[in-house]
């Protein structure tokens, strides 16, 4: 049986997708597999399109992470091949991190092939010729150095643009009520959107609360303005609060610079540029609202962190059974008086006004977690079952090939009498095609990978629920790894888990 090969394709920016990078990497992998008699597995696609390898993001959360998991759980068998255009597609991280990733793959029995220079790195070849390891280190060092230099130059150019008082245009991304002008030297106000922002300020200055402003905008079906498709989305209090207190409405823009802190990129504010954008509201009105909000927060101590647990075990999961919009929690000082209600009702007086007691919902998950784990749908096939079926198919194909060879020899030696033998050969070929189709289906259904990760997720959920003291935020995190949504069907008196 030919060895299995897996192609890993990566480029750093979405703009590279418009060029030849994708086609070039795919064609190199296909040519190499065909030339060396390898079977290129197309059921598992490992592609990080627009994902950088400079800080190892592809190995932490991208498709390369999925490949490492597949190796760990036995989906990618030993003696397989990972086809890359070059080692810089694998990692551009610092040398120790890049080397650890490289050796992790090779130590698992997977051969790394770089298609540009036709080099292969396996456990056997590196032990026999340690010079190859030195070559790989030099290539990865050079890749990291190139990315470091490029990053330094870009950071320097961005800093110069931030500090220059003459630059008044930094690209097409701008607040939703603005757009680039025709000469692309600055920005102009979109009239209908600008009027919506001014209306929000007029109502806030008149003393109307955030909830009333939101409800009026949603009742009148005033369209949202933001990136992407905003059709059907609702105004929310958090967005109104952002508009009221953001300095962008008076034209002030604060550039941020990225800094890597403990392996993560943090964006730090720099000097504010006043008057960078066209002001859409009066500065005195904006400062008055900010001062009023600050006084309110100090009086009611809104900035002090509460010691009470307000975590919602169904956060980002709970859905309304009628409109499938999120259900949100209304809280009071009494933990027994917390309710889930449809967001459409709270923000726009649409859908149903049914309030569901949150403590009852929480008790279902906390007290019946074993019932949830026991009844969680299992993958269609266990690992051992799948392996046994594949072994049976392999044995069956071997038997059919031998039979086909005998029938072919019989057909060649009997002349006209061999017509019956020819019919047997056609039947044998049909049986072989059916077995090959079943083998392809089994290879496509990587059930035992799901089985391995599912057990780990269920065990993590059990541990989070049984921990003392219980962290409901942790329980919610584990639930979101298992579920896509939970419909609170108050009419049927049940929770529907997806």
70-88: pLDDT as tens digits: 787 777 888 899 999 888 8
Q: Are residues 276 and 235 in the same domain?
A: yes
This prediction's pTM: 0.58
CB 44, CB 81: distance < 8 Å: no
Of 273, 300, 327, the domain-final residue: 300
Indicate whether 179 belongs to any domain: no
Q: Is residue 129 in some structural domain? A: yes
Q: Which of 428, 444, 460 is the last residue of a domain?
A: 444
Whether residues 276 and 420 share a domain: the answer is: no
pLDDT exceeds cutoff 60 at 15 = no
pLDDT band at 413; cut points 50, 70, 90? low
Highest mean pLDDT among 27-41, 235-249, 387-401, 417-431: 235-249
Query: What is the structure's pLDDT at 192?
Result: 94
Same domain, 39 and 59: yes
If asked whether residues 459 and 365 sit together in one domain, one would say yes
Query: For 287-313, what is each residue's pLDDT tens digit?
Result: 999 999 888 888 877 765 554 445 688
Assign residue 33 the CATH number of its domain.
3.40.50.1390
Tell me, what DSSP letter sits at residue 279?
P
Percentage above 70 pLDDT, the chain: 80
Nearest to 50 by CA among 58, 42, 39, 60: 58
> Does 78 lie in the same domain as 208?
no
> To which residue do tokens 């255009």 refer?
85
Q: Is residue 134 part of a domain?
A: yes
315 vs 477: CA distance, rounded Å: 9
163 part of a folded domain: no
Domain shared by 349 and 485, yes or no: yes
Q: What is the mean pLDDT of residues 21-31?
A: 80
Q: H/E element holding 450?
A: helix 447-466
Same structural domain for residues 367 and 483?
Answer: yes
Do the domain assignments include residue 218? yes
List the beta bridge partners of residue 487: 319, 496
Q: Measure the CA–CA gap between 360 and 375, rounded to whole angstroms.
A: 20
Q: Kindly state whether residues 24 and 94 are assigned to the same domain.
A: yes
Amino acid 307: pLDDT: 47
- Are 456 and 477 in a shared domain? yes
DSSP-derived secondary structure letter, 233: -
276 vs 154 pLDDT, higher one: 276
Is 377's pLDDT higher than 60? yes
Question: 5-9, 260-264, 352-356, 403-407: which range is least confident on average?
Answer: 260-264
Give 113's strand partners. Answer: 83, 120
175-189 exposure pattern, b = at least 16 Cβ within 10 A, e = fewer? bbbbeeeeeeeebeb
In the chain, the number of structural domains is: 4
Rounded to the nearest integer, the mean pLDDT of the chain is: 81
Say how many C-beta atoms besides its own lie within 10 A of residue 115's C-beta: 19
Model confidence at 492: pLDDT above 70: yes
In a domain, 308, yes or no: no
Q: Is 158 a member of any domain? A: no
Percent of the chain whose predicted confidence (pLDDT) is above 90: 23
- Domain with 201, as residue range(s), is 189-300
- Residue where one domain finishes, among candidates 251, 275, 300: 300
462 and 353 fall within a common domain: yes
The CATH number of the domain holding residue 282 is: 3.90.1750.20
Is the model's pLDDT at 422 over the cut of 60? no
Lowest mean pLDDT among 151-155, 191-195, 213-217: 151-155
pLDDT surpasses 90 at 282: yes
- pLDDT value for 106: 93
Co-location of 272 and 201 in the same domain: yes
**Is there a single domain that holds both residue 320 and residue 394?**
no
Residue 170 included in any domain = no
* Nearest Cα residue to 245 out of 292, 176, 301: 292
């Amino acid at each position: 049986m030919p060895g299995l090969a897996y192609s890993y394709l990566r480029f750093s920016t979405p703009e590279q997708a418009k060029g030849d990078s994708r086609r070039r990497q795919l064609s190199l992998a296909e040519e190499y597999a065909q030339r060396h008699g390898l079977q290129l597995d197309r059921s598992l696609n490992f592609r990080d399109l627009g994902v950088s390898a400079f800080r190892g993001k592809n190995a932490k959360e991208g498709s390369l992470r999925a490949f490492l998991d597949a190796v760990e759980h036995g989906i990618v068998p030993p003696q397989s091949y990972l086809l890359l255009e070059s080692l810089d597609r694998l990692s551009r991280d610092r040398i120790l991190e890049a080397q650890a990733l490289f050796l992790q793959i090779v130590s698992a029995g997977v051969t790394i092939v770089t298609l540009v220079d036709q080099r292969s790195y396996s456990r056997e070849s590196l032990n026999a010729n340690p010079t190859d390891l030195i070559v790989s280190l030099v290539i990865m060092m050079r890749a990291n150095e190139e990315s470091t230099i490029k990053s330094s130059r870009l950071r320097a150019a961005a800093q110069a643009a931030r500090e220059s008082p003459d630059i008044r245009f930094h690209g097409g991304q701008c607040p939703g009520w603005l757009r680039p002008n025709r000469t692309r030297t600055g920005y102009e106000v979109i009239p209908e959107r600008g009027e919506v922002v001014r209306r929000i300020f007029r109502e806030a200055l008149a003393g109307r609360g955030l909830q009333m402003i939101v409800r009026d905008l949603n009742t009148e079906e005033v369209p949202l303005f933001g990136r992407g498709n905003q059709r059907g989305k609702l105004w929310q209090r958090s967005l109104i609060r952002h508009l009221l207190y953001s300095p962008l409405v008076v034209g002030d823009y604060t550039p941020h610079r990225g800094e890597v802190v403990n392996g993560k990129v943090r964006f730090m504010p720099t000097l504010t540029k006043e008057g960078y954008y066209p002001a859409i509201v009066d500065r005195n009105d904006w400062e008055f609202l900010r001062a009023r909000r600050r006084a309110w927060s100090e009086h009611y101590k809104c900035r002090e962190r509460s010691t009470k647990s307000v975590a919602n075990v169904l956060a980002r999961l709970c859905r309304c059974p009628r409109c499938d919009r999120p259900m949100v929690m209304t809280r009071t000082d009494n933990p027994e008086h917390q309710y889930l209600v449809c967001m459409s009702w709270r923000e726009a007086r649409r859908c149903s006004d049914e309030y569901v007691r949150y403590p009852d919902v929480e008790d279902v998950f906390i007290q019946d977690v074993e019932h949830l784990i026991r009844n969680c749908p299992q993958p269609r096939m266990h690992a051992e079952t799948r392996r046994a079926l594949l072994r049976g198919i392999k044995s069956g194909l071997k038997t059919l090939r031998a039979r086909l060879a005998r029938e072919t020899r019989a057909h060649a030696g009997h002349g006209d009498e061999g017509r019956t033998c020819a019919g047997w050969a056609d039947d044998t070929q049909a049986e072989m095609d059916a077995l090959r189709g079943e083998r392809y289906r089994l290879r496509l259904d990587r059930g035992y990978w799901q089985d391995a990760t599912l057990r780990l997720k269920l065990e993590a959920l059990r541990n989070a629920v049984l921990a003392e003291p219980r962290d409901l935020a942790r329980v919610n995190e584990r639930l979101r790894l298992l579920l896509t949504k939970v419909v609170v069907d108050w009419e049927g008196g049940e929770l529907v888990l997806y």
